[in-house]
Amino acid sequence: MKLGMYGLGRMGGNMAVRLARHGHEVVLLNRTRAVSDKIHAEAPKSAVVDDLEALVAALPSPKVIWVMLPSGDVTEKAIETLGNMLSKGDIVIDGGNTCYKDDVRRAKILHAKGIHYVDVGTSGGVWGLERGYCMMYGGNQEAVDHIDPILESLAPGIGDIPRTKNRGSNLNPRAEKGYLHCGPAGSGHFVKMVHNGIEYGMMQAYAEGFDIMRMKGSDRLPEEQRFDLNMADIAEVWRRGSVIPSWLLDLCADALAVDGDLSKFQGDVADTGEGRWTIEAAIEEAVPAPVITAALFTRFRSRSGNTYAEKMLSAMRFGFGGHVEKK
Amino acid sequence: MKLGMYGLGRMGGNMAVRLARHGHEVVLLNRTRAVSDKIHAEAPKSAVVDDLEALVAALPSPKVIWVMLPSGDVTEKAIETLGNMLSKGDIVIDGGNTCYKDDVRRAKILHAKGIHYVDVGTSGGVWGLERGYCMMYGGNQEAVDHIDPILESLAPGIGDIPRTKNRGSNLNPRAEKGYLHCGPAGSGHFVKMVHNGIEYGMMQAYAEGFDIMRMKGSDRLPEEQRFDLNMADIAEVWRRGSVIPSWLLDLCADALAVDGDLSKFQGDVADTGEGRWTIEAAIEEAVPAPVITAALFTRFRSRSGNTYAEKMLSAMRFGFGGHVEKK
Amino acid sequence: MKLGMYGLGRMGGNMAVRLARHGHEVVLLNRTRAVSDKIHAEAPKSAVVDDLEALVAALPSPKVIWVMLPSGDVTEKAIETLGNMLSKGDIVIDGGNTCYKDDVRRAKILHAKGIHYVDVGTSGGVWGLERGYCMMYGGNQEAVDHIDPILESLAPGIGDIPRTKNRGSNLNPRAEKGYLHCGPAGSGHFVKMVHNGIEYGMMQAYAEGFDIMRMKGSDRLPEEQRFDLNMADIAEVWRRGSVIPSWLLDLCADALAVDGDLSKFQGDVADTGEGRWTIEAAIEEAVPAPVITAALFTRFRSRSGNTYAEKMLSAMRFGFGGHVEKK
Amino acid sequence: MKLGMYGLGRMGGNMAVRLARHGHEVVLLNRTRAVSDKIHAEAPKSAVVDDLEALVAALPSPKVIWVMLPSGDVTEKAIETLGNMLSKGDIVIDGGNTCYKDDVRRAKILHAKGIHYVDVGTSGGVWGLERGYCMMYGGNQEAVDHIDPILESLAPGIGDIPRTKNRGSNLNPRAEKGYLHCGPAGSGHFVKMVHNGIEYGMMQAYAEGFDIMRMKGSDRLPEEQRFDLNMADIAEVWRRGSVIPSWLLDLCADALAVDGDLSKFQGDVADTGEGRWTIEAAIEEAVPAPVITAALFTRFRSRSGNTYAEKMLSAMRFGFGGHVEKK
């Protein structure tokens, strides 16, 4: 299939290459021409264009354009512009980290013009080129059917992962290949958002566990109560036969094998929106989500020095007990 | 009543003075003689002794000794020593911050010798000399009846605080005067412990609220979304007619009136054991206590730089996304 | 001052009466005429009208209308309608539980017409008629100066609450009377929202504490570890001289004096929006708010039977361990 | 190697069979003879005895006895009894779910008699017979060297799990085979305990995520905001190429493939001690562990109807606002 790929950063560039390797013709557009040229060299049968007009002109109808830009204003602007350039039956795909509420809004606007909007939540990070991308997408049936060949090429496929027991024929066979039509526009990014929320919680669970084990050897405890544990070996042993193996644990083991002290990591942990939106969704639904929330708050706290809240605690303690707190 | 007061720190010293002002004869013992002399000067009819032997000798039977020492080993040692010096019918009072489990254990040992053990959870801090001390105590009926005059003198009394509606005569009238026999040995410190757990949660609730209001004016938000709020005025306005007035809010208002930035407070918040024991009790009883726990964890986190857990989060993020986190 | 009061429910009705008792002329409007008549009988110099047109017609310019309706669509519609009926210089007050973001939006729309919008966060509940209402409000200076006499009458005043130490003349003297101009439109409801967030946290802190004390007597513990504590007496004793007295504790004491088992309360705890918005604000500002969040999640959980999340936990436990969970 | 296996429940029985299949001679002891006979039939070269005396008598010196009994009193009694029957150089292994503090205590007592104590934290559940058991163990070097052949047979081995990148020769090669000497007695159960704590957190992360996705289709939201998502397909798609695959996710997928409603699961989630001890350890070390704690509290809450805490919240809301809460 011939399609346009707009945005060739770490994600978009690798996806274009993977698509080209699977025989698709990818028309490449990036803010910086040099990046397009670099991807072009790796992507058979690809072409490079310099602006949106040229991108649209290069594609047969129905035109398919995959937008893979930083979420927020940049993507918003791109979708809006494309909405004014495309025609009935064309398909715009947003593969970035958009909030699902924006998808719902955009799809409605584009729908009025007969343009299809497909939101694709994409997981896989820097590993996707080789492993494939797990994709959760939303949009109408006609549009997602049309782009199925692209999605299948990007997806990891069934691979050597054991099949789920009792999985019946009533379930969607694409899910086993690592891509899934979740529902109408917005539902793809919604499921991807929850995926990230779960990711936050799992990461925090491991992080707490390793912290508790490491501090068991610290002078916060009387010497006779300490254990001096080897974090790298523990991460490793859990990878085989325990209840908690996972890809995230593999990554812990990788990092700890290099340096059990993790001394090159500072620990100011970023967050990219999905965790916040997951909690917002939980609150809208009145669903308790204490673990995902605690994981997000830990990240917030990690990025600042002592907070105003903590100073207020000290102020109260000074008020009732004359306590003066110093490091 | 004649009694011994062992330990004349900020709490014990003020209590001795308050007792003396209410007509009790207090025999004073402190590690440092100079402190005893200072309290002696403020405490009518008091006497000073230099060691436990002299303290015991100075008291009529049944001897009543109030131990007001730092919790932990110091108190443990003192109670053990007194257990070997006192006789059947004598009364040892631990007024410090002892864990209730230690009370239960000690009371059992002393009971075998016929010595009464009373644990008194005491609240009031630096304000107690004037305001009186709220006391929650445990022990057998005979012992607590005997020391009732002391407790009544230390308690704040009914004061000008409005009476609780519908409070029937089946309830303990001492509670209205600010002191309460909670049950057998250990129950006093148990109730005091939970008091402190609640205190942690309330303090944290205020602290979070003020943090959210203050950060509403920070550059974490786009300029058009900011409010520049006056913390001192807000604390003040809430003191009258809102749902959340409390003594802790009064203390917030005091601190904020001096400096809305709380700049003299560093925010490394100590904890003194009761919060930890409260959570331990909650876990033993399978009672969810998310707020008290979150309050304690905030204190833990406030006292360290980036944790090992946070570094592990960064390491995982680096592993799957190539993210490098910097301040 | 002559003003209109639109909405005479529990809050608006009492406020109208309090205003009338302080000499203001209140024109009353309510969906149900009978309610207006009832308030009229209690409110000296008041008048009753039957619709918004009559309300607007009855007021001198600049017209002042206090809207005290259920938050959400009802209030939204009323403000919109008034925006079309009022003129330059008139003042619309929203005294309900509106989200501050709606205030910001509305004020902008009305501002374009020269109409002032004042949002008043009002605390005091069923007690306000006698105690007065704590009010936090936002709007431009001209408007809030004009309505100051109304606000002063509604406010509790300085009363017999001790003055805050070191409170300087640089601070707003109205705060000491229980009402405060917080900033531009929206800031009043913002501060009120955080007040409610704190309220959630404090309530939960007390609730957890009492739960831990009560369960200390339950058969979840071996008999020798139990204490059979009297909740009513403990709430009472804490009201005098402890660190945690508050109005909320007074309410606990009231309820427990009637029935320590709280058997008439079912425990499905509602939430009215402010807690949710507080957390939303915290997340937007990247401020950790674990206590307020935990308090909200407890309420969510209280209103349902076993959740889908809990079933998923059981399903996983069955999967790895063959555990079958039954009540 | 010849060894005794005391306790042939689900774990001990399977372990005995796995050991026998690897050529070890296992002397079997179980409270119920019939169970021993059943295992005997599956375990080549095994023998059955009827009491501890016979078990001890049947083994050559140094005698090795693996105790695999329910944790708590039963195990405690067994270890104590064996301590009186064994001699210098013999080895007692506790493979159950013992709290590490008990291990430390026991090892000290046995050490005085020259008896070795090894604690083995064992993961693998009902799957271990085929998959092998991930084991984390503590004890002195001499003892763990002696029993290495047993441990290697029980362990899963390196299998087809990819090797960790950059894992150097300075690290313990046994970890890659799924078993690890963590340190002195107690350290094995400590690491296993933290493993379970992490497990709690991960399970809760998944559970919250699925709850949020499912409730997105519920009538808690306005109809136009709902997505009707297929839980089974989503669990499946995440198994390939996402960031959150894990064995626990596989189990979710298994359960959801059978019934997306999980209707056969009631959702009263048990806990078996390790989560509690993990939090206790975190608190002792002053390490924040909000996620593991929230996961535990969710389980507590899942097992009861409305709590006393929730009733107290309702009572306060009734007190200040006249709110009456009903289902």
- Residue A320: name the closest of C206, C244, C237, B191 by CA: C244
Give the whole-angstrom CA distance, residue C183 versus residue C196: 19
Give the whole-angstrom CA distance, residue A231 versus residue B42: 59
Predicted local confidence at residue C127, as pLDDT = 82
D138 inside domain: yes
Indicate if the pLDDT at residue A182 is higher than 70: yes
Give the whole-angstrom CA distance, residue B157 versus residue B153: 8
Predicted local confidence at residue C126, as pLDDT = 75
Distances (CA, A) of D278 to A168, D190, D197, D290, D296: 39, 8, 6, 12, 10
How large is the average pLDDT for residues B266-287?
96
pLDDT digits (tens, 9 = 90+) for A279-299: 999 999 999 999 999 999 999
- Using a CB–CB cutoff of 8 Å, tell me whether A300 touches chain C: yes
- Best probe of the A interface among D164, D179, D192, D272, by most A CBs < 10 A, is D164
Structure tokens at B117: 């053990």
- Best probe of the C interface among B191, B198, B254, by most C CBs < 10 A, is B198
How large is the average pLDDT for residues D68-72?
95
**CA–centroid distance for A236 within its chain:** 26
**Catalytic pick from A101, A199, A216, A236?**
A199
C27 inside domain: yes
Give the whole-angstrom CA distance, residue B77 versus residue A289: 47
- Using a CB–CB cutoff of 8 Å, tell me whether A167 touches chain D: yes
pLDDT digits (tens, 9 = 90+) for A142-178: 999 999 999 999 999 999 999 999 899 999 999 999 9
B314 inside domain: no
Predicted local confidence at residue D326, as pLDDT = 63
Indicate if the pLDDT at residue A79 is higher than 90: yes
Question: DSSP readout, D240-258?
Answer: TTSS--BHHHHHHHHHHHH
**Nearest CB to A198; choose among D176, D195, D244:** D244
Predicted local confidence at residue A322, as pLDDT = 81
Tell me if C118 sits within 8 A of C188, measured CB to CB. Answer: yes
Domain limits for position D131: 2-184
Give the whole-angstrom CA distance, residue D193 versus residue D121: 8
**Catalytic pick from D192, D223, D311, D325?**
D192
Place of tokens 């024929």: A169
Q: What is the CA radius of gyration of chain A?
A: 24
Structure confidence at residue A274 as a pLDDT band (50, 70, 90):
very high
B143 inside domain: yes
Indicate if the pLDDT at residue B124 is higher than 90: no
A325 inside domain: no
- Using a CB–CB cutoff of 8 Å, tell me whether B301 touches chain A: yes
Beta carbons within 8 Å of A57's beta carbon, 6+ residues apart: none
pLDDT digits (tens, 9 = 90+) for A35-63: 999 999 999 999 999 999 999 999 999 99
C162 and C61 belong to one structural domain: yes
Predicted local confidence at residue D126, as pLDDT = 75
- Using a CB–CB cutoff of 8 Å, tell me whether C282 touches chain B: yes
How large is the average pLDDT for residues D230-242?
96
D152 and D251 belong to one structural domain: no
A320:B125 CB<8 A: yes
Beta carbons within 8 Å of A299's beta carbon, 6+ residues apart: A200, A269, A270, A271, A275, B313
Domain stop point among D184, D210, D243: D184
D209 and D82 belong to one structural domain: no
A102 and A244 belong to one structural domain: no
Distances (CA, A) of B101 to B120, B123, B284: 13, 19, 13
What's the structural domain count of chain B? 2
D202 inside domain: yes
Structure confidence at residue B83 as a pLDDT band (50, 70, 90):
very high
How large is the average pLDDT for residues A252-274?
95
Predicted local confidence at residue B326, as pLDDT = 64
Tell me if A271 sits within 8 A of A301, measured CB to CB. Answer: no
Structure confidence at residue A29 as a pLDDT band (50, 70, 90):
very high
Predicted local confidence at residue D124, as pLDDT = 79
pLDDT digits (tens, 9 = 90+) for D12-52: 999 999 999 999 999 999 999 999 999 999 999 999 999 99
B129 and B167 belong to one structural domain: yes
Q: Which domain CATH number covers B169? A: 3.40.50.720
Which chains are within 8 Å of B by 3+ CB pairs? A, C, D
Please name every residue paired with C67 in a beta bridge, in sequence order, or none if there are none. C6, C94
**Nearest CB to B300; choose among D280, D286, D309:** D286
How close A313 gets to chain B, by Cα (Å)?
6
pLDDT digits (tens, 9 = 90+) for C97-145: 999 999 999 999 999 999 999 999 999 877 889 889 999 999 999 999 9
Tell me if C256 sits within 8 A of C231, measured CB to CB. Answer: yes
| ∠ Cα C173 C176 C177 (to 5°) | 100
C298 and C160 belong to one structural domain: no
Which residues of chain C register pLDDT less than 70? 326-327
> Closest-CA residue in chain C for D124?
C320
Tell me if D183 sits within 8 A of D136, measured CB to CB. Answer: no
B156 and B243 belong to one structural domain: no
Beta carbons within 8 Å of A235's beta carbon, 6+ residues apart: A210, A249, A252, A253, A256, D164
A225 and A87 belong to one structural domain: no
C113 and C238 belong to one structural domain: no
Q: Which residues of B touch C222 (CB under 8 A)?
A: none
Predicted local confidence at residue D327, as pLDDT = 54
Structure tokens at D178: 């799924």
Structure tokens at D99: 């709290």
Give the whole-angstrom CA distance, residue A87 versus residue A56: 10
C265 and C301 belong to one structural domain: yes
- Average pLDDT across chain A, whole number: 96
Domain stop point among B156, B184, B212: B184
Tell me if C219 sits within 8 A of C132, measured CB to CB. Answer: no
Q: Which residues of B touch A327 (CB under 8 A)?
A: 266, 268, 303
A8 and A153 belong to one structural domain: yes
B322 inside domain: no
Place of tokens 């445990």: B138
pLDDT digits (tens, 9 = 90+) for A243-254: 999 999 999 999
Give the whole-angstrom CA distance, residue C123 versus residue D321: 10
Place of tokens 């229980």: C178
Q: Which domain CATH number covers A198? A: 1.10.1040.10
Predicted local confidence at residue C327, as pLDDT = 55
- Using a CB–CB cutoff of 8 Å, tell me whether C244 touches chain D: no
How large is the average pLDDT for residues A233-241?
96
C300:A280 CB<8 A: no
Indicate if the pLDDT at residue D267 is higher than 70: yes
Indicate if the pLDDT at residue B325 is higher than 80: no
Tell me if B290 sits within 8 A of D292, measured CB to CB. Answer: no
C315 inside domain: no
Structure tokens at A203: 């990461």
**Nearest CB to D227; choose among A131, A183, A286:** A183
Give the whole-angstrom CA distance, residue A68 versus residue A28: 11
Beta carbons within 8 Å of C25's beta carbon, 6+ residues apart: C1, C2, C3, C45, C46, C47
What amino acid occupies position D65? I
pLDDT digits (tens, 9 = 90+) for B191-236: 999 999 999 999 999 999 999 999 999 999 999 999 999 999 999 9
Give the whole-angstrom CA distance, residue D58 versus residue D199: 39
**Catalytic pick from C192, C208, C223, C311?**
C192
- Using a CB–CB cutoff of 8 Å, tell me whether B207 touches chain A: yes
**Nearest CB to B300; choose among D287, D303, D309:** D287
C145: DSSP letter = H
B307:D288 CB<8 A: yes
**Nearest CB to B279; choose among D243, D283, D294:** D283
Predicted local confidence at residue B322, as pLDDT = 81
Indicate if the pLDDT at residue A327 is higher than 70: no
Tell me if D254 sits within 8 A of A188, measured CB to CB. Answer: no
- Average pLDDT across chain D, whole number: 96
B25 and B102 belong to one structural domain: yes
Domain stop point among C131, C156, C184: C184
